[in-house]
Amino acid sequence: MKIKLTKALPEQLKTPPASMSGVVFGTVFSDHMFCMEWDDGKGWHSAQIKPYGPLTLEPSSMVLHYAQMSFEGLKAYKLESGEHGLFRPRENFKRMNLTSKRMCLPELDVEEMLDALKQLLRLDSGWVPGEEGTSLYIRPTILATEKAIGLKVSSKYLFYIILSPVGPYYPQGFNPVNIMVSEKYVRAVPGGVGNAKTGGNYAASILAEKEAKELGYTQVLWLDAVERRYIEEVGSMNIFFVINDTIVTPMLTGSILPGITRMSLLELGKHWGLKVEERRITIEEVLQGLKDGSVTEVFGAGTAAVVSPVGILSYKGEDCQVGNGETGPVAMQFYEHLTGIQYGHESDPFGWMEMI
Ligand code: COI
């Protein structure tokens, strides 16, 4: 794929933050972005890297009305060796293609996109932060851009990739977060788009999260939409439980995002010889287990959230403490090994890191 390059002028170049402490996640962007367009009958075309800046969209662009879109989240890390590496980037572009199937978006060539991303990252390499726990968050996005108010499959799309240097997603960092189980709202329904990484899933979660935050909780834990019993995910991360020394996460039923960090923790756990289960888990099982001590840890896993211990789970107005409310040993082991591979402190037996 031929990529046109327009570099930012010296006066357009920004200075990356000297330190990521105090920078709110996802609010600072690098100097350049990758863009390409898709038209019916023509396919993807006009690939270019250009200065980061506003998009020009018709107010009638279909994405602005009907949300036909998809996005991804992956990260580039500065390794101990000084090299820059991506964590399992092909998995993100493959998942983007799965979302595209469900949302009727055009698919991407995984290897071409990886090559385009690497070119962008080489140009903005000064934006990969080096402090512990920091990374360059990468946001590929596809939008339906046909100007039409009628509901149909768009005939035009825009794909772009932007880069944002980030520290921890939650202000708590790696300290336990408090999570409220949503009783009033649901995130996704069987046959819906819960397993697609599309904006509507996140838009649908905002009110519940706002209400949870007003009550002092960081995030919402979603239950299934039919029986309102089976645990699904947190919305910004998948969820794991340690139950009688077994690592358990909800099985992918179609309404849960197939997280790449989720998949990596399952693979790591199996590699270590730990007992790992993907199955349906009810909220009653977890609450009972927290009371009788069989559930010893709860933690989330996601690209932005990495591994995030849960200190309190609140259900029907009752706060249940997880263990002693501190980070447990399994969450700690996963966090240290996963970030160890990502920053090059640990060996990478699975070949997960892709050097830039
Ligand atoms: C990610 O973890 O990469 C996501 O896209 C979640 C988002 C809420 C930041």
Centroid of ligand 1 to alpha carbon of 92 (angstroms): 12
Q: Which atom of ligand 1 is nearest to the CA of 74?
A: 3
Q: Which atom of ligand 1 is nearest to the CA of 25?
A: 9
Tens digits of residue pLDDT in 187-216: 999 999 999 999 999 999 999 999 999 999
For residues 99 and 104, what is the distance between their CA atoms, to the nearest angstrom? Answer: 8
| Atom 5 in ligand 1: residue holding the nearest Cα | 73
Q: Which atom of ligand 1 is nearest to the CA of 202?
A: 8
Report the residue among 74, 138, 303 best suited for mutation to probe ligand 1: largest number of ligand atoms under 8 A from its CB. Answer: 303
Q: Which atom of ligand 1 is nearest to the CA of 73?
A: 3
Residue list, ligand 1 pocket, CB within 6 Å: 73, 236, 302-305
**CA-wise closest residue to 299 among 271, 326, 268, 264:** 326
Percent of the chain with pLDDT over 70: 100
Is residue 172 pLDDT above 90, yes or no? no
**Residues of the chain by 3-state class (helix, strand, coil), percent to 5:** 25, 30, 45
Domains of the chain: 4-166 (3.30.470.10), 177-342 (3.20.10.10)
Tens digits of residue pLDDT in 331-340: 999 999 999 9
| Atom 6 in ligand 1: residue holding the nearest Cα | 236
| Atom 8 in ligand 1: residue holding the nearest Cα | 236
Tens digits of residue pLDDT in 290-334: 999 999 999 999 999 999 999 999 999 999 999 999 999 999 999
Is residue 235 pLDDT above 90, yes or no? no
Centroid of ligand 1 to alpha carbon of 291 (angstroms): 31
Is residue 39 pLDDT above 90, yes or no? yes
As a whole number, mean pLDDT of residues 40-51 equals 98
CA gyration radius, the chain: 21
Q: Which atom of ligand 1 is nearest to the CA of 261?
A: 2
For residues 158 and 55, what is the distance between their CA atoms, to the nearest angstrom? Answer: 10
Tens digits of residue pLDDT in 261-296: 999 999 999 999 999 999 999 999 999 999 999 999
Q: Which atom of ligand 1 is nearest to the CA of 305?
A: 2
Report the residue among 88, 222, 236 best suited for mutation to probe ligand 1: largest number of ligand atoms under 8 A from its CB. Answer: 236
For residues 13 and 133, what is the distance between their CA atoms, to the nearest angstrom? Answer: 25
Query: Integer distance in angstroms from the first to the last C-alpha of the chain?
Result: 18
Centroid of ligand 1 to alpha carbon of 304 (angstroms): 5
For residues 128 and 103, what is the distance between their CA atoms, to the nearest angstrom? Answer: 32
Percent of the chain with pLDDT over 90: 97
CB 87 within 8 A of CB 72: no
Centroid of ligand 1 to alpha carbon of 150 (angstroms): 30
The pLDDT value given to residue 174: 83
DSSP 99: H
The pLDDT value given to residue 250: 98
Helices assigned H by DSSP within 179-298:
199-203, 206-214, 260-271, 283-292
The pLDDT value given to residue 171: 82
Q: What does the mean pLDDT of the chain come to?
A: 97
Centroid of ligand 1 to alpha carbon of 338 (angstroms): 17
Backbone dihedral angles phi then psi of residue 143, each to the nearest 5 degrees:
-125, 140
Q: Which atom of ligand 1 is nearest to the CA of 26?
A: 9
Tens digits of residue pLDDT in 108-129: 999 999 999 999 999 999 999 9
For residues 216 and 16, what is the distance between their CA atoms, to the nearest angstrom? Answer: 33
Report the residue among 27, 141, 169, 209 best suited for mutation to probe ligand 1: largest number of ligand atoms under 8 A from its CB. Answer: 169
Centroid of ligand 1 to alpha carbon of 144 (angstroms): 21
Write down the residue that tokens 């609450």 correspond to: 287
170 three-class SS:
coil
The pLDDT value given to residue 4: 98
The pLDDT value given to residue 253: 94
Centroid of ligand 1 to alpha carbon of 305 (angstroms): 7
pTM over 0.95: yes
Q: Which atom of ligand 1 is nearest to the CA of 235?
A: 8
**CA-wise closest residue to 3 among 92, 124, 117:** 117
